[in-house]
Amino acid sequence: MTELAVPADQAATATETSMQQAVNAALRTLLAEDPATLVFGEDVGRLGGVFRVTDGLQAEFGDRRVFDTPLAESAIIGLAVGLAMNGWRPVPELQFDGFAYPAVDQIVNQMARMHYRTRGAAPMPITLRLPSFGGIQAPEHHGESLEALFAHVPGLKVCAPSDPADAYGLLLQSVRADDPVIYMEPKARYWNRRAVRLGEPDLPIGASRTVREGRHATLVAWGAMVHRCEQAAELAAEDGVELEVLDLRWLKPIDTDGLAASVARTGRAVVVHEAPLTAGLGAEVSALVTEHAFASLRAPVQRVTGFDVPYPAGPLEPQYLPTVDRILLAVQRTLEF
């Protein structure tokens, strides 16, 4: 695994941390800094969540700040909306991405619109933590990519961290923001450790991050696919192809300027995501590149995505998710165009 480079001045405080630990640490920071912050959802209390992301929080902050709810996703988000209207800063968890569907009415019709509907009288400082994406060969509905659905909804902001440091920083930003944020945690990356320093966010909301510089093509990704793109870039480098890897981090808003700047440098773009191809966020990225960096483009934007099929059962998942080989083939197509 490629480790993130740790700048010399931070090396002393950098420690091996998993994303699961980083999200846990961020929640601890947030609960400690603002008494209005509440963490709740299915099994997040005594158990500490099915991924142990909320481990120890109830013991530390009490069962008024960190609590279990009955199993009903729509009511969990509805509860968050009502709590926000009474001055709280809710951080609900829905256990798995596929179980966000039962809550879509509350997310789309209520949470995303309450600020608009009330002309700003009722802010919705809600961060919905959503363990997301595939890669763990989970049962049906335990692996989905809903970013395009949520990015389409006016009033929402959407982000997906790719590494522990960003998981920490993005969660601080999301929860401190007064707008509702869908915070998508890549399940497949929960347990990968990186030597990182957990600290205050170093980029504004909406900013992308160049995780690897290159001059021949830009790989655009988020969540677990960032790591896959780094692997592809590592292999390409052996053949003398220098790939830039751009971690979008925010899927709404998308960093149009950062995207355009990268493509202006490389002239080629390959967008990689787990979600199905059609009307996926790759189409949005492709359109933005065309609109904002058309003159720099030397090849059509390529999309390497899941297929237009449901997330498949375990043994087929590796054939569904974008592979390093498919990413490299797409790069080759842009180079040979």
Partner 1 sequence: MNAEEAAPAGPDLSGIPPELSRSMYRDMLTARLLDDEAIALQRQGVFPAYVSLRGQEAAQVGSAAALDTATDFAFPTYREMAVALTMGVDMVGYLASHRALWHGGLYDPMESRFGPVNAVVGGPVPHAVGWALGESLRDGPGCAIAYFGDGASSEGDVHEAMNFAGVFGAPVVFFCQNNQWALSVPVEAQVAGGSVAARAAGYGMPGVRVDGQDVAAVYEATRAALRRARDGGGPTVIEALTYRVNPHSTSDDPGRYRDPAEERRWRERDPITLTRRALERAGHADTDFFDAAETGARAFCEAARDGVGNAPHPAGSDLFSHVYREPTEALRRQQRVWRDEVGP
Q: From the CB of 259, what's the least distance to partner 1, in Å?
A: 12
Distances (CA, A) of 72 to 52, 95, 98, 182, 198: 20, 11, 13, 18, 33
Burial class (CB in 10 A: 0-12, 13-18, 19+), 178: exposed
Structure tokens at 157: 């902001």
Whole-number minimum distance, CB 92 to partner 1, in Å? Answer: 10
Give catalytic status of residue 142 as yes or no: yes
Q: CB-wise, 80 or 211, nearer to partner 1?
A: 80
Burial of residue 101 (number of CB atoms within 10 Å: 0-12, 13-18, 19+): middle
- Max CA-CA distance within the chain? 60
Edge to edge, the sheet with strand 209-212 lists 209-212, 243-247, 217-221, 269-276, 302-306
Residue 153 · residue 108 · CB < 8 Å:
yes
Point out the catalytic residue in the list 115, 141, 142, 292.
Answer: 142
Which of residues 55 and 179 has its CB atom nearest to partner 1 in the complex?
179
Considering beta carbons, is residue 81 or 130 the nearer one to partner 1? 81
Least distance in angstroms from the C-beta of 308 to partner 1: 26
Closest to partner 1 by CB, 18 or 110:
110
- Rounded to an integer, what distance in angstroms lies between the CA atom of residue 335 and that of residue 337? 6
Task: Using CB under 8 A, list all residues that contact partner 1.
Answer: 38, 64, 69-70, 72, 74-75, 77-88, 90, 105-106, 109-110, 114-123, 154-155, 157, 177-179, 205-206, 252-254, 256
Q: How far is the CB of 6 from partner 1 (least distance, A)?
A: 31
How many CA within 13 A on the CB side of residue 55? 10
**From the CB of 241, what's the least distance to partner 1, in Å?**
32
- Residue 329 host element (H or E): helix 324-336
193-196 and 15-18 as β-strands: parallel, antiparallel, unpaired? antiparallel
Q: Which residues are catalytic?
A: 142
